[in-house]
Chain A
Amino acid sequence: MAERDAAEVCIGVLALQGAFREHLACLRKLPRVHAVEVRTKEQLAGVDGLIIPGGESTTMALIAERWGLIPELRSFAAGGSPVWGTCAGLIFLADRATGQKEGGQALLGGLDCLVQRNFFGAQVDSFETQLPAPEPLSALRVSGAAAPAPGADSFRALFIRAPAVLEAGASVEVLAEYRLSPTEAEAQGRQSVAVAVRSKQLLATAFHPELTDDLRWHLLFVEMVRERLRGSSSLRKRGPDSAPAAPERAGSGTRPADLPVVGPSDAY
């Protein structure tokens, strides 16, 4: 990939709650990517693509509703702008979800999937594993400041009270599956579940690439955003200088640095 020719893109990360700073840190390691926090309609209008991070989907939905963001997010995605949801973000994007809180919750939809919240159970059942890298991922080459992936043919996946895709429509491309253990398979009555899916401009993963030092999922999404910009440069809503600055430092300005990536065998 000729990075010198790659278009400059502005990626927003929905910063209502959750692991949004981890996504920003990953994006900022990629060349020609400008990454900003999105909390308001105005900030959303200035970005080319949006990541909905991991966190509590009920919390994010309630805060988004309170400030009228849900219809704005819906029209952002419906207008063809790429959106990537990780974990809670996957639940946001799915057309159908089970295991909702009483009374349900506002969802964006757009991804023809049935998702089950907390598919793998409580926190004691949360886990990490290596999964085979799908072709679109293994074809990518990360350079620049980005650390090389540990193995090009697999990727590290952390599942934290994670959801899973139970059914995917015909328009949905399954990028990664997780094979259930014999006990899980018996309890669920199936051998595997989809954990990464893509449909046109929507990408969704049940795991957390932002908690690893493998940047390929972020690059894959950035390339989806570039693809979209190439196809519709006239639709671009913002000028080169109008990207909103994230309000990162205020008050006493003492917000400490972010957490590092915790390795598979790290413990203190």
Chain B
Amino acid sequence: MSDTKKIVVVGGGMVAHRFVEAMRDRDTDGQYSVTVLAEEPRAPYDRVALTSYFTHKDPDALALGDPSLWEDELVTLERDALVESIDREAHSVTDRYGREHGYDHLVLATGSYAWSPPVEGSDLPGVFVYRTVDDVAELRRYVEDRSKGLGRPVRGAVIGGGLLGLEAAGALQELGATSTVIQFADRLMNLQVDEGGGQALTRLIEKLGVTVKCNTATTAIKPGKDGSAGSLEFADGGSQLVDVVVFATGVRPRDELGRTAGLDMGERGGVVVDDTCLTADPDVSAIGEVACIQGSCIGLIAPGNTMAEIAVDRLLGGDSTFPGADTSAKLKLLGVDVASFGDAFAKTPGALELTYADPVAGVYKKLVVTDDARTLLGGILVGDASAYASLRPLVGSEVGGDPAGWLLPEGSVERPNVELPDEAGVCSCNNVSAGAIRGAVTEHGCTDLAGVKACTKAGTSCGSCLPLVKKIVGTELEKSGIEISNALCEHFDMSRAQLFSAIQVSELRTFSEIIERFGTGRGCDLCKPAIGSILASLYNEHVLAQDRAALQDTNDRVMANMQKDGTYSVVPRVPGGEILPEHLILIGQIAQDFGLYTKITGGQRIDMFGARLEQLPSIWKRLVDAGMESGHAYGKSLRTVKSCVGSTWCRYGVQDSVGMAIALELRYRGLRSPHKLKLGVSGCARECAEARGKDVGVIATDAGWNVYVGGNGGFTPKHAVLLVEDVDDETVFKVIDRYLMYYIRTADRLQRTAPWQEEHEGGLEAIREVILEDSLGICADLDEHMARHIDTYEDEWKAVLNDPERLAQFTSFVNAPDQPDPSLAYVEQRGQRRPATQDERDSGAVLIAPSTLEVRS
């Protein structure tokens, strides 16, 4: 490894991350080691999503890519290691602690800093910029403290009405402050949108309660009585009272290192590089916002990532060059869609502009096309940017048909169906072309969106191109003759969601009626359990009612979990993990009497293994008599609600998490769903219950509860995402009622909540609209359905114990009910028994046969 060359990357932002990721991805021979010297005390994070830090409050949620990248032996990440000088002759840089780092190749990725104009008072307490996690954290703290001190909403002002300014205004609103945007230019986002777009944007933003002042120059920030920011003064003589001011007046390249190292500087700053990202020194590259490429510095992530890829390619002997910056952008600011792409201002000679404006709905759209109206050059979309993903890659290609189809509201006119050229860029974050996505299907055998995402990285950063990726994948699959079928199985052409509504509307209650009406044949192991589950979700009748026993998997059929040797495990419900000593004793007694192996489950209850089919009723009789009930550990249904001990005992707890967990578990017990459901409740932000790894996680705050949705452990772990914040108990129940019921009605067979909400049209945002704003008008129905579930719950095991006919199913052999399965054999391990392995059976090791076990019941 002695000939491994050393790369030093100065700067630890998103572009540095992309550089390291791409290098480790492509440098398969280990030619280079990479050391990243980051100024911030943390690994690179998603700065574009900075505002989400307000909602999530978790810096980890902003993590970029796979954290194991930093554990690679060829990668070193030095945090808090601001570089102070470069010695190009000695090939070495020196950090703030005086440590020298030698390099074979140096990459400058120092990014930008938030620039604020030299306004009087810009150094007062209460004046902030908006660039790093620390900036946001400080702003947050200040606003929270200030609002406590003032006893009224904090007055916020943002100077700068660009992209970052609107983000900051949104962040202030999130914090409960009022916000005013002060814009020097004549409209908001003047770099991205034209006058018409600016007007539409102003109307939409004002509707959200943000005040907008354009054509306004701020001349001074005056201190209030306590010496912190108190009012703004404007050039036109006006003024405004403020408590907090955020500067969002643009960024400037962090080029001081390059400057002192004697590298060429651009006219407006930035280290000058050629199209291969090299500076005049062949051993020094610059990438991202600090690089002045083709005459300018570009403050967008997509071109920065492209530069990182080019620098890596060049170091590995490739010949790629910078294609020119794609300055397209699609944003959701305060919930308002804004997109701008290509030649948005129609600077191309002879360009035509097609506009559509609906001031009432707050929509403004413009397409820029060539003088023959055939080729798309660019566009602006405000208020409804749904066409962005399809249009941006079309820049430079024929629009096909009537371009007006793209301007009118979706659905009113058919949009031209255009086949993208292979070279059209689809995912600009990761520079993935339409051709690469097609290749993932045709050459790499991907058959679904998830596969294509993993294969090409398309849509894995901002996700705005996902609808288009999905469409291309669908078209390509169709062409390859692979049918994308939603059919449940050969007996039903419908998807689970379609079948759910069909059954609901038709009010059919038995499998034979349902298959006769909606399917063909006699069913199978795929459609039967799915319909059994739908019927249980709809009517909450017993899983074994009517002809339903035969629909269920063995687990639901005998209400226990089958293990590898054909015996079952038994799990009584322990709501919230809170258990009476007498129930603990009873479980121990039963396990002893029946010779069952006991283990604590991950869901805070106790599992007893090795019970034979015919033993289940006598075990359950004892549990039910003592007041315990089925834990549904066997069902595609609510499993457990895990909790920490909460404020009743814990020094740190702020809410009664156990009480909440018990209430939730009793509310949703027995609820059948497309897949298992797990919930968690934590009593404070320390999150000891690991609630964000659950389908629904409830985490206590000082003011109430935050509800997170769509998490899971398992094969592809996912953190749940915030749905509502600081709500009271009643709202927790209402929101979860609707979320679960909506999931149950619309998910695919065996689809957990995380992929469901990811693949739901419009994602979690759309789900939020359905369940919080009632966008589909179904909330009353969802509420009523859940109320019916809660009212009609009965313990499944208790019901079976009272029914001799159902008890007859719990028989070992129809012609020898007193004989246990003779094939069972156990050995002892750590004081308990476990199934014997084949070797142990063959070698005649000391086996415990089941028939010798004494059963007292």
- A, B from the same assembly: no
- Chain B residues in contact with chain A, CB under 8 A? none
Could you tell me which A residues sit within 8 Å of B by CB distance? none
